[in-house]
Structure 1
Amino acid sequence: MSMEAAPWLVLGLVIGGLFKSLIPTAFLHKHLTQPGLASIIKAAILGIPLPLCSCGVIPAAIGLRQAGASKPATTSFLVSTPETGVDSISISYAMMGPFMTIIRPVAALFSALFTGLLVMLFAGEESPQQAKQKQSASPSCCASSAEKSQQEAPPQGILKSAWDGIYYAFSDLYPSILKWLVIGLLFAAAVQAFVAEDWLLQWGDSWLVMFMMLLIGIPMYVCATGSTPIAAGFLMAGISPGAVLVYLLAGPATNIATLGVVREQMGNKTMWLYLLGIIGSALFMGVLVNVFASQFEINSQINHSHEFMPYILQLLSLLLLVWVALMPLFNKAIKKDQSSCCD
């Protein structure tokens, strides 16, 4: 799981850093920080085509948030991005047919809009003073140093800004979410190890299987692309398209890592609204799809190849992430040795 997640996490870190360094703050304030539905819609549309999984979207969303996006817009982006992407859409067509290919991004858009609207109506938004106090009080937050550098940095070229953003992503953004990423991957691995897929197939198209899909999908780490072969297997085994869609929405958009980061960055109330929005929209779209799916013959051709990333790219990405995570420990040990020698 770590191997499969590593390339997407690296990509997410890069995008998060570029969001912070290249997108003008004025642009974000204009399109994503204003109250109302418009910023939620723009954030959802911005996230749909990006090929980021639930692991990789975390740094991208935090970078967007720290660049000035509102809570509703950030949660909308955080929902729509992992639920679908250009890569998962193409694989959906190959493995599940045109019906699920069309309904999947539509359902992701609805889920993002519904969740963002819940946050807008019931969570509110921090004032700039509250946000600064929260960032200064949290030692793990990576916003403070980035905010300082953004205020002090003179105008510079695009390439220099891009490099500064990437450096910021791996030096500040990655350490701030590392704890939850590790916890989420370990928990998801335990779920996948001890919950058999055959256990779900016995209930077919009942309501119970939708709730089972939620219980399995919410804590699980699974990418939109990686979830497609599993979903195709569920369809072939007789589970209803609506229940499969619940899995496709809840699985990529929620896991322990995502919920933990949302809670830490935007508050406990926003986390529960985020979870409620995904659950409610997934069940609603699942029921709606079952109503219309009876009019279509859904044929899927299963492709048993689950390797969508070259092995060498997965390995190099994982080694990079491990090296970046361990570098502070190495630097601390070196400084300790040097101080001991000097003493």
Structure 2
Amino acid sequence: MMTQLSRYVLAYISACWDMLVEMSPYILFGFFVAGLLHILVNPQTIATYLGKRRIRSVLYATLLGVPLPLCSCGVLPTATALRKQGANDGATLAFLIATPETGVDSIAVTYGLLDPIMTIFRPFAAFVTAFVAGVTQNLFGKSYNEQALEQIRLDRSCKVDHCCDGENCPPETHRNHHSYREKLAAALKYGFGEILDDIAGWLIVGLLIAGAISVLIPDTFFEAYLGGGFSSMLIMLAVGIPLYICATGSTPIAAALIMKGVSPGAAFVFLMAGPATNAATISVVYGLLGKRAIAIYLGSIAACSVLMGLLLDKIYGWMHLVAQSTVGSAEAMVPRWFSVVAALVLLFLIGRSFYETWQRRRARPAETCGGSCSCSHSHS
């Protein structure tokens, strides 16, 4: 009995480690790009492009949200700030959907764990879903009013070290009073600090669940019910909507499901619905935009996720590809030794994140987002 248990434990650890090794180089790259985006995005741009026009503002909000690496929890204060800085209702809703469904970190991990088709299709589907929801909100939601941008006070404070508020120094000085080296250091601190703190726990949860699926569930278990088709999409939608998990953490689970026979489309529904929906986001949508926006929010995610899942299965069929054979196809592009080093570096960073978060929580009560999840970083 003990020997059998030991074999399962060793197989479980091995499965978790292999998946971590596959994804680590890509997620480290994602954190780096996330930090650069944080330093480079200008709040004036947000107010200028997200406040006016029913459709154009939604387009800009979606394009802004797709690459940003924020989970359903971290996106809430950001979306609220956008709304207060002049983003209209549709742009705010589009940002709330596009941002947690994908991001540079989850796109990189999708490439490492899945395949190029899913890597391209994931941000495309997130864009379509968010754009549909935002335009629907602006056309059929509560009354649409363009806000006077000149009356809105923007947060122009320095993102590098908060050395100034951006209000009392000329724009030229504000842009140039830090060197490129200082900006790069601030980007690294944010990407491998606050962003890592935000998703570290969910990343570990995703790896642990993926390892359990790989070891404990027989290969033919899902084939009867989740091998493809409309019913498969509905089942995964029912699983994904109430489950709170970030886009990056959901990726190893999707990879494990595909390896066990779940169709790529059904796994994709989980990738779309899981990160985008949770009780906190629903409450924020209600508070900011009203009851009708909740129906548009959930309806758009459900309908677009299922339709995109069905389309993805068709794409694999048209290309005569078997998803199980393409999972992890990017691994061969990175030397094994490099992936192992990246995995060790990522484990060290996650361990440091957990320790520093624990130290902060000992010093003061943990901050909460909407009452449903805890964030280790501050949202300003």
Q: Which TM class, normalised by the smaller chain length?
A: 0.5 to 0.7
SS in 2 for 1:68: coil
User: Is 1:121–2:139 an aligned residue pair?
Assistant: yes
Structure 1 segments of 4 or more deviating over 6 A? 15-19, 146-150
Q: Whole-Å Cα distance in 1 between the matches of residues 366 and 311 of structure 2?
A: 50
Q: Whole-Å Cα distance in 2 between the matches of residues 201 and 322 of structure 1?
A: 44
1:220–1:320 CA distance, 2 compared to 1 (3 A): farther
Task: Give 1:1-343 correspondences, 5 Å limit.
Answer: 23-24=43-44, 27-125=45-143, 155-156=168-169, 158=174, 202-203=224-225, 204-296=227-319, 297=321, 298=323, 299-301=326-328, 310-316=349-355, 318-319=357-358, 322=361, 326=365
Q: Deviations over 1:195-247 (max 9, x none)?
A: x9668664022422211211111121111111111101111111111111111
Contact 1:93 1:100 in 2 (8 A): yes
1:111–1:324 CA distance, 2 compared to 1 (3 A): farther
- Give the match for residue 13 of structure 2: none
- Give the match for residue 340 of structure 1: none
- Give the match for residue 338 of structure 1: none
Q: Whole-Å Cα distance in 2 between the matches of residues 39 and 240 of structure 1?
A: 35
Q: Whole-Å Cα distance in 2 between the matches of residues 314 and 292 of structure 1?
A: 40
Q: Whole-Å Cα distance in 1 between the matches of residues 356 and 236 of structure 2?
A: 30
SS in 2 for 1:326: coil
What is the RMSD of the two structures over their aligned residues, measured on CA atoms? 4.2
Contact 2:54 2:139 in 1 (8 A): no
SS in 2 for 1:294: helix
Q: How many residues align?
A: 272
Q: Whole-Å Cα distance in 2 between the matches of residues 35 and 102 of structure 1?
A: 28
* Structure with the higher fraction of residues in helix conformation: 1
1:220–1:327 CA distance, 2 compared to 1 (3 A): closer
Q: Deviations over 1:300-329 (max 9, x none)?
A: 1399x999562234325634774686289x
Q: Deviations over 1:120-160 (max 9, x none)?
A: 1221346599xxxxxxxxxxxxxxxx96999x99534749x
Contact 1:17 1:63 in 2 (8 A): no
Contact 1:16 1:59 in 2 (8 A): no
Return the TM-score normalized by structure 2: 0.60
**Which amino acid is the alignment partner of residue 270 of structure 2?**
Y
Gapped regions of structure 1 (runs ≥ 5) = 1-11, 130-145, 160-180, 329-343
1:254–1:200 CA distance, 2 compared to 1 (3 A): farther
Q: Whole-Å Cα distance in 2 between the matches of residues 91 and 53 of structure 1?
A: 15
Q: Whole-Å Cα distance in 2 between the matches of residues 317 and 60 of structure 1?
A: 23
Percent identical among aligned pairs is 35
